[in-house]
Amino acid sequence: MSSLTNEQLERYSRHIILKQVGGKGQEKLLNGKVLVIGTGGLGSPAAMYLAAAGVGTIGLVDYDVVDLSNLQRQIIHKTSSVGKNKVDSGRATIEALNPDVKVHTYQELVRADNILDIIRDQDYDFLIDATDNFPAKFLINDACVMAKKPFSHAGIIRFQGQTMTYVPGQGPCYRCVFPEMPPKDAVPTCREAGIIGVMGGVIGTLQATEAIKYILGIGDLLTGYLLTYDALTMQFRKIKIPRNPNCPVCGDHPTVTKLVDYEQPACDLRKKG
Amino acid sequence: MADGMKTDANVDITDVVCPMTFVKVKVALEDLNDGQVLGVHLNDGEPIQNVPRSLKDEGHKVLSVRKAADDTYDLIVQKNGLAQ
Amino acid sequence: MTITVNGKSLELEKPINLNELLVVAKADQPEYVTVERNGEFVDHKGFVSTFVADGDTIEFLYFMGGGAA
């Protein structure tokens, strides 16, 4: 017997009509649990679309407060939330959008000594890496490989973005592609290089799409593919990426066997060329 | 229901409008097994114009449609009946 | 010879190694870029000894952080 109320049948009617979803699919979403690490440019749209879709449990991780410069793209926050904790601001938006969603907030940085506890707190089904720094990205990758949890990786800068999905046993992890951390100043941040606000929307929504498809068990995920997007040329490319048998984390002989807090090495001042 | 044909379940969708009409029928069908039969009580107008077609698009077989005295309809549909 | 780099054709007069290709193809972040040749990753240590061949498909995969701040 369907557990959906009349109000839910109406709220999610556009999902239920879809052959690949139906009432049963909607129930899967309502029972689904997704952890969004970072409630910024990527996390904002991802969390909002997950909430709209009726993912019943959403975790938000962010230690930061809302800053005016965030509002150009972090659309889960409002002008009135400047100065508030991002996770609280995010929760308020989600609760107003969809009361079916239970939000769990973690006002902290992910670290080697807390990330597995956070993942296990609700035994999340799928994780979204919406962070902005490489130590966090490497840690999230390692934790998901070791905890056997699927996750969506993404990064954005200027007018570009990219994303890939890791599902245990079904393709490469992030570190198959990028085994070692780049030095601190090698890769610009959004603060330094700028970011067109909509980029987070496009890529973050793709991340939510992967989470939703994973929960529903439909479609083809970006496992074994890096999807890149250039907003200036409006070009998407789907690049096949192999699992790396020498990957330090998921390879045949892993050298990374426990979680560590990565330090980004300072840039060597070596001559170019 | 008024048909003499035995149904495994019934749903009344005269209290909602499209697309909720199809949504309610679809959800009712999910509880049945393939080959089982659902009775649907629906209104004239958009519902009778849309619901049978939507059911067919999803692979279900409409076995009969009867108009009742009050201009509502009773439809009988077999789950996945077109997949033979 | 013709190779494809990031989906675009590139004409070369003679085979060059991957270090030279990074220069010719104007790769960003040449010290940190991940290079895929015909679907396989090539370690940075192997760039100097890996020469491109006619018909090769090369991808430059870049770090992108961005995200929250």
Residue A206 to residues A148, A165, B29, Cα–Cα distance (Å) = 22, 10, 31
Superfamily of domain C2-61 in CATH is Beta-grasp domain (3.10.20.30)
Å between A149 CA and nearest CA of chain C = 21
The answer to whether A130 and A37 are in contact (CB under 8 A) is yes
Is residue B15 less than 8 Å (CB to CB) from chain A? no
CB atoms A156 and C66 under 8 Å: yes
Residue type, A195: I
Q: Which has the closest alpha carbon to A36: A147, A167, A168, A124? A: A124
Q: Domain of residue B63: give its range.
A: 9-31+41-78
What are the tokens at B44? 């004239």
Taking only the tens place, the pLDDT of each residue in C46-66 is 999 999 999 999 999 999 986
Neighbouring C-alpha atoms within 13 Å toward the C-beta of A186: 24
The reply to whether B24 falls in a domain is: yes
Q: What is the pLDDT of residue B7?
A: 95
Mean residue pLDDT across chain C = 92
Residue C69 pLDDT: 44
Q: Is A58 helix (H, G, I), strand (E, B) or coil?
A: strand
Supply the DSSP string of A109-175, one letter for each residue.
Answer: ---TTTHHHHHHHTT-SEEEE--SSHHHHHHHHHHHHHHT--EEEEEEEBTEEEEEEE-TTSS--HH
Domain count, chain B: 1
Report the number of secondary-structure helices (H) and strands (E) in chain B.
2, 4
The angle at the Cα of A235, spanning A229 to A237, to the nearest 5 degrees, equals: 65
Per-residue confidence band for B3, with pLDDT thresholds at 50, 70 and 90? low
- ipTM for the predicted complex comes to 0.91
Name the token pair of A232: 């200036």
Question: What does each C-alpha distance from B34 to A4, A234, B31, B46 come to in angstroms?
Answer: 22, 45, 10, 27
Contacts of B26 in chain A (CB under 8 A): 16-17, 22-23
Contacts for C41 with CB less than 8 Å, ≥ 6 apart = A176, A177, A242, A244, C34, C35
Q: Which of B23, B28, B30 sits opposite A17 (nearest CB)?
A: B23
Where do the structural domains in chain C lie, given as residue ranges? 2-61
- The answer to whether C6 faces chain A, any CB pair under 8 Å, is yes
Task: Tell me if there are at least 3 CB pairs under 8 Å linking chains A and C.
Answer: yes
Long-range contacts of C23-28 (CB under 8 A, 24+ apart): C25/C58, C25/C60, C27/C60, C28/C60, C28/C62
How far apart CA A19 and CA A209 sit, in angstroms, is 17
Could you give the 3-state DSSP secondary structure of residue A262? coil
**B47 located within any domain:** yes
How far apart CA B66 and CA C2 sit, in angstroms, is 69
Chain-chain contact of A132 with C34 (C-beta, under 8 angstroms):
no
B1, B9, B16, B18: the active-site residue: B18
User: Residue A271: what pLDDT?
Assistant: 32
Amino acid at A204: G
The predicted-structure confidence for C8-30, as pLDDT tens digits, reads as follows 999 999 999 999 999 999 998 89
- Tell me the domains of chain A and their CATH numbers: 32-240 (3.40.50.720)
Rounded average pLDDT per 10-residue block, chain A, 273 residues: 91 96 98 97 97 98 96 97 98 98 97 97 98 95 98 96 97 96 82 90 98 98 98 97 95 94 63 34
Residue B4 belongs to some domain of the structure: no
Q: Mention every residue, 6+ apart, whose C-beta is less than 8 A from residue A92.
A: A81
Q: Could you identify the residue written with the tokens 């039969």?
A: B37
Instruction: Look at strands A235-240 and A225-230 and give their pairing.
Output: antiparallel
Give pLDDT tens digits for B17-50. Answer: 989 999 999 999 999 999 999 999 999 999 999 9
In a domain, residue B56? The reply is yes
Question: Which 3 state secondary structure label does DSSP give B9?
Answer: strand
End-to-end, the C-alpha distance of chain C in Å comes to 44
Q: What one-character DSSP code corresponds to residue C46?
A: G
- Phi/psi for C67 (5° steps) reads 90, -85
The verdict on residue B36 lying in a domain is: no
C4 interfaces chain A, CB cutoff of 8 Å = no
Please name the amino acid found at residue A161: G
Q: Angle at Cα A12 formed by Cα A131 and Cα A21, nearest 5°?
A: 80
Burial class (CB in 10 A: 0-12, 13-18, 19+), C19: middle
Select from B19, B22, B27 the Cβ nearest to the Cβ of A4: B27
CA separation for the pair B63, B40 (Å, rounded): 11
Tell me the backbone φ, ψ of residue A107, rounded to 5 degrees: -90, 75
From the CA of A3, how many Å to the nearest CA of chain B? 10
Peptide bond into A254 cis (omega under 30): no
Q: Please say if B33 is a catalytic residue.
A: no
Task: Say if CB C3 and CB C57 are below 8 A apart.
Answer: yes
